[in-house]
Structure 1
Amino acid sequence: MTAFAPDWLYLREPADAAARATELLDPLREYLPENEEVVIRDLGCGTGSLGRWLAARLPGAQRWILHDHDTELLTHARASIPESALDGSLVDAVAEQRDVTALRAADLAGTSLVTASALLDLLTRDEVTALATAIVEAGCAALLMLSVTGKVELSPGDPLDPALAAAFNAHQRRVTGGRRLLGPNAVDVAATAFGRLGATVVRAESAWRLGPDQAELQRQWLEGWVGAAVEQLPQLRPVADVYLQRRLEMAAAGELHAVIHHGDLLVLPPSMEAAA
């Protein structure tokens, strides 16, 4: 799994929070049991941004089990989960270092909800299928947020935008360590996998909308976006270097707007129906 620096994860957290599909919360609240502790497993938790966003938006006592392979990130996450739920109930958190791709139904026993943010696009088709199977067989709900879908809108536009977007998307689908990543296909693959298992799947858009007040996030995102495109297609480098400098100057001047599209999924077990 890819490692991410805490500074980058904290920088993107406000954009993540603004993008998350809040319309998925009402059907999730209706599904979760009342008058008993809700056990939530957050896969690939990073610094805990999803827990910080979600815990205070759900009622009732909660026990968060935070999973990541990075012990430093787990330390950040466990220390920052809110102590109170939406209704003031107690929220507790524990950290477990483990490979989230190896989770099976037995590992999810007693879990009410599985969550993840910016994770599905880092997985393979087989890994997403196995995760969907584990979640459905365990009878859990799932809230899987902020998976990239491959669409980027930059304003003002540039003739090089489509070529860089295509190269970046190909990089997201690359083979690494013998694993073919899903990248922008992840939301479709996951929705199909859960649907075939009989689960109810509700999809929602969750785009980053970066304006002039987020110049530093624009800068770091641009550097990563162009860098990945060039890594995938090295012949782009001469024009990409000039492009990046031009875009960075626009971002610094407050002249750039960016919409980076993501998708969110709410999954409810086969016996439940989502209120769309």
Structure 2
Amino acid sequence: MNAVGSARFAADWLELRERADAVSRAPELLRPLRTWLAQAAAERPGRPPGLVIRDLGSGTGSMARWLAVRLPGPQRWTLHDHDPALLAHAGSRMPSTAADGTPVQIATEHGDLTALSAADLAGTSLVSASALLDLLTLDEVEALAEACTSAGCPALLALSVAGRVELTPQEPLDAELAAAFNDHQRRADQGRRLLGPDAVAAAVAAFERRGATVVLRSSPWRLGSAECTLIAEWLRGWVGAAQAQRPSLGPRAVEYLRRRLDQCAAGELGVTVHHTDLLALPGPPSGGV
């Protein structure tokens, strides 16, 4: 697949999963976040009103669209991604107003989000990301925690894979494929050792070591017959990654995928993909956490 084709596939996949992502994110984390933001604003009366939010790995902007209408404003967003085509798509679809009807302003930034420092986050009210942590290395997670805590900036990091998948009806090969997929998520990629399902634990340790208060909530995809198109695309990627990691799965995986796709088309397959949402607030716990 060429670069244009890869970008189109990425956009199509992100569009396909947006609804499932939106209903799965943990809205209960917004209460302590709003409390912290309000307290921070009260303690810094000289700062301009509103929120400055940087969304990392923004893709088509689904996290920003979900969050902007759930927080007060005015809001100034920077959508940060390595793919300029996705950034253009995201920037054109953001809501114009926040939860309280005040304006939402958008800027985009193309570049390496793993190189962000505390200086880059100066004046930032919140860092957000979705489905990002598991694509980072341990060093990159440590650097993100260092940048956020040094800048006194909370982080809301949603939909990190938890390494657990449940399919209904169950099959004997489910567990073997899940283990192979998890190993693939932890693979070395261009010299980078990805954390995959170990990312949340690594992030909790990194933020807490720097004095932050971390709150976790489960945010699973629960997919049924109404999400057949998403299930089918997810299945192809899940089984394909497992095969790439463990070629010995061979014909068993091919036959498994055929069976599961047939079940999906017949409305007989349910899938739960477990994720975790993480909120890291600089400083010790307060009454709102």
How many residues were matched structurally?
275
| Residue segments in structure 1 that go unaligned for 5+ positions in a row | none
- Counterpart in 2 of 1:136? 149
Deviations 1:245-275 (A, max 9, x none): 0000000000000000000101111166362
Rounded to whole Å, the distance in 2 between the matches of 1:27 and 1:201 is 11
TM-score w.r.t. the length of structure 2 is 0.93
Task: State yes or no: 1:6 paired with 2:11.
Answer: yes
Task: State yes or no: 1:127 paired with 2:140.
Answer: yes
Aligned residue for 1:143, secondary structure, equals strand
Shift of 1:165: 0.2
- Counterpart in 1 of 2:238? 225
Rounded to whole Å, the distance in 2 between the matches of 1:275 and 1:225 is 38
Shift of 1:30: 1.0
Aligned residue for 2:69, secondary structure, equals helix
Rounded to whole Å, the distance in 1 between the matches of 2:284 and 2:172 is 49
User: CA contact under 8 A between 1:45 and 1:67: conserved in structure 2?
Assistant: yes
The amino acid of 2:199's aligned partner reads A
Which residues of 2 match residues 83-122 of structure 1 at below 5 A? 83-122=96-135
Rounded to whole Å, the distance in 1 between the matches of 2:102 and 2:250 is 54
Rounded to whole Å, the distance in 2 between the matches of 1:51 and 1:119 is 14
> 1:96–1:274: structure 2 CA closer, same or farther, 3 Å change rule?
farther
Which residues of 2 match residues 121-200 of structure 1 at below 5 A? 121-200=134-213
Shift of 1:32: 1.4
User: CA contact under 8 A between 1:200 and 1:274: conserved in structure 2?
Assistant: no
| Residue segments in structure 2 that go unaligned for 5+ positions in a row | 1-5, 42-47
Deviations 1:103-156 (A, max 9, x none): 010011110000000000000001000110000000001100000010000000
Deviations 1:2-25 (A, max 9, x none): 976101000000000010001101
Deviations 1:190-235 (A, max 9, x none): 0110001000100000000001000000000000000000000001
Task: State yes or no: 1:43 paired with 2:48.
Answer: no
Rounded to whole Å, the distance in 2 between the matches of 1:76 and 1:43 is 15
- Counterpart in 1 of 2:3? none
Question: After TM superposition, which residue ranges in structure 1, 4 or more long, deviate above 2 angstroms?
Answer: 271-276
Rounded to whole Å, the distance in 1 between the matches of 2:215 and 2:273 is 21
Task: State yes or no: 1:21 paired with 2:45.
Answer: no
The amino acid of 2:188's aligned partner reads V
Rounded to whole Å, the distance in 1 between the matches of 2:78 and 2:252 is 46
Aligned residue for 2:16, secondary structure, equals helix
Rounded to whole Å, the distance in 1 between the matches of 2:63 and 2:175 is 31
Rounded to whole Å, the distance in 2 between the matches of 1:91 and 1:271 is 30
Shift of 1:37: 1.9
Which residues of 2 match residues 265-276 of structure 1 at below 5 A? 265-270=278-283, 273=286, 275-276=288-289
Rounded to whole Å, the distance in 1 between the matches of 2:277 and 2:97 is 25
Shift of 1:237: 1.6
User: CA contact under 8 A between 2:22 and 2:66: conserved in structure 1?
Assistant: yes
TM-score w.r.t. the length of structure 1 is 0.97
